[in-house]
Chains A and B, each alone.
Chain A
């Protein structure tokens, strides 16, 4: 199979990543997803899109192929560069278990690579999983998301998980952001992890405080299990603004960390230390050197 557009390497685009895109409303999420899909199509990636269809609808009736969708989506759907799978079918094929979900994704990746697509782009809309009522589902979800990490480590796979806050329960938002703390984009703030350092960036304010708190908890949880753990090395050099709500959450998370785990601060403006002192900096928060 050949791609609609010739594949060309994008020196700026990482060969693989697993990113969470958080948005407050459905239309914001669609704009972000459309932009991402459009870029992947132009880069010549094979794109797998999973989402919700109106009842009785067909893939070519999804918003993705309408005016709000990415340029070229309708053509890509007809040529096979873009494949759409609706969530009910995914649940049917996977049994909503971690192994089942990963088998579906792995099968898609292998098929695309067999067809000689240079990269595989996979994205799914906010899944509206009933996590609030099902602790077992939370565990399965964490397992398949870890499996997505493996996919992106082994193959040239770029994965964009979409999270629409308006569509999800608080528990689902919390778990989703915590699991994705290594690579999350949420409006004016984002976070990445590299070389054992977790780096939030941008504006951290009351509007996103709960999501930031979830990411902090995810980062602390991961640090405990990491080779370089259990301390969480926090690189603050990319933080443009942090308010009292987010500072409070960060200090509370550090205070409630198990004995022996510290939050080690690297970089960032001196003013942030003044803010931490104002809300109450616990002994478990330490100063480190400059970030690498």
Chain B
């Protein structure tokens, strides 16, 4: 049913609907797959949708949690990322379906949705974000732009309207503030400058001791991988470091793609032990790679 999509990391699906029947038809393939795979499944939807979903799933619906829509945090909320991060379980996948409220500001919603892929892209989550077609056209546009796949009655399909946040996207800046440190890297000999940059920003953000060491090492390892994939002495990498409270977000961009595979071949296996999150954004059409770490 997944149309060839491999369920690893974050699966972020958009769903456009006209009414409850339409919504249920498009969501069912993904929800059935989640139940078959033993996922924890949460559906926060209006009563009409919940009723139709119970009818369609029969006894399987008992394995779904149905909190009221008001209990779900909105993508526009400041603590959206934290709330979503808590849904993830270490031992199994979690699938969550939620609906856009009609009154949600499109701009703030866009920041939240973009940030999911940027910051939480490696979490074992399937999110189905549903938007009624008669809502604010700007909200519809946000849904189309921010979801790599769309949920349809035949299962998830690639979304041609999806645009990953560009390297220069205001999203990271809007989420994390201005760039606090920036350095260019061409080869392994430049990594000392990169480490100094991260250490200085980390210290200014109030990190100390092992927290600084971990931040420096995580970014360093990400850069080592990226440099080794580039031409010798011409890696053309740029590191930008931003802070939010005691959290560092380091963004490494360059022209050389990293195969985004998990498991034994995980390109970030050396990075992950030293940071909270590490995500690859491979955008071959722009020959850009972003590796992000929050520590």
Contact = CB atoms under 8 A, between A and B. Distances in A.
Contact of B270 (A203, A207, A244): A244
B189 A245 contact: no
Given A205-B191, A206-B191, A207-B191, A274 B220 contact: no
B220 A243 contact: yes
B188 A203 contact: no
A271 B195 contact: no
Interface in A244-267: 244-245
Contacts of A270: 210
Contact of B195 (A241, A269, A274): A241
Question: Which bracket fits the contact residues of A?
Answer: 10 to 19
Contacts of A271: 209-210, 213-214
B213 A188 contact: no
Contact of A188 (B192, B210, B224, B270): B192
A188 B191 CA distance: 11
Interface in A205-249: 205-207, 241, 243-245
B188 A274 contact: no
A26 interface: no
B152 to A, nearest CB: 42
B91 to A, nearest CB: 22
User: Which of B187, B209, B214, B224 is packed against the most chain A CB atoms within 10 Å?
Assistant: B224
Interface in B187-228: 187-189, 191-192, 195, 209-210, 213-214, 216-217, 220-221, 224
B125 to A, nearest CB: 25
B213 A269 contact: yes
A24 interface: yes
A187 B274 CA distance: 26
B210 A269 contact: yes
Given A244-B270, A271-B213, A206 B189 contact: no
B227 to A, nearest CB: 8
B210 A274 contact: yes
B270 A241 contact: no
B68 interface: no
Given A206-B224, A244-B270, A270-B210, A275 B217 contact: yes
A91 interface: no
Interface in B217-247: 217, 220-221, 224
A273 to B, nearest CB: 10
B187 to A, nearest CB: 8
Contact of B221 (A187, A203, A243, A274): A243
A205 B194 CA distance: 12
A5 interface: no
B142 to A, nearest CB: 39
A203 B188 CA distance: 13
A80 to B, nearest CB: 39
A241 B216 contact: yes
A278 interface: yes
B224 A243 contact: yes
B273 interface: yes
Contacts of A274: 210
Nearest to B213: A271
B188 A278 contact: no
A24 B273 CA distance: 31
Contact of A203 (B195, B213, B214): B195
User: Which of B187, B192, B216, B217 is packed against the most chain A CB atoms within 10 Å?
Assistant: B217
A243 B217 contact: yes
A118 B172 CA distance: 64
Nearest to B214: A271
A252 to B, nearest CB: 15
B210 A207 contact: no
Contacts of A278: 273-274
A205 B188 contact: yes
Nearest to A209: B188
Nearest to A188: B192
26 contacts: A24-B189, A187-B189, A203-B192, A203-B195, A205-B192, A205-B220, A206-B191, A206-B224, A207-B188, A207-B191, A241-B195, A241-B213, A241-B216, A241-B220, A243-B217, A243-B220, A243-B221, A244-B217, A244-B224, A244-B270, A271-B209, A271-B210, A271-B213, A275-B217, A278-B273, A278-B274
Which 5 pairs show the lowest CB-CB distances between chains A and B?
A207-B188, A271-B213, A278-B273, A271-B210, A244-B270
Given A205-B195, A207-B191, A244-B270, 7 more contacts: A206-B191, A241-B220, A269-B210, A270-B210, A271-B209, A271-B213, A278-B274
